[in-house]
Structure 1
């Protein structure tokens, strides 16, 4: 029922408001979805870059650096 309520003309958008469908709505949808999936792909790659594979062999230097970081005590205020 809210769609049939009176809306004063000074509140209406000149383009037709929320329910207005533009001529290029499909193109706009494709652009938005492409950007959305591009962002998801970048976030996926970032997560994969930060993943540690327990079956992979790491150099001794890397393991020593990790052990040193784990042994550090956090500073207390």
Structure 2
């Protein structure tokens, strides 16, 4: 997990690049990395028995939103 954190920190720094194209590309990749990380954390939380409502509360979204995004399809 440390490598992912280092990557995210580097991407966050790159969003301040003077070249707007480079900054936008870094922001895009930062969002993708954050999305992957969130999905992995939600999976772990469910495996450890957390309810959708508790996960949603921690993420600051509705239970329906988190279940729709991460629930089984």
Could you say which TM-score interval applies, normalised by the shorter chain?
Answer: 0.3 to 0.5
Instruction: Tell me the TM-score normalised to structure 1 length.
Output: 0.38
Indicate the structure whose relative CO is greater, using CA pairs within 8 Å and at least 6 residues apart.
Answer: 2
Instruction: Tell me the TM-score normalised to structure 2 length.
Output: 0.39
Larger Rg belongs to: 1
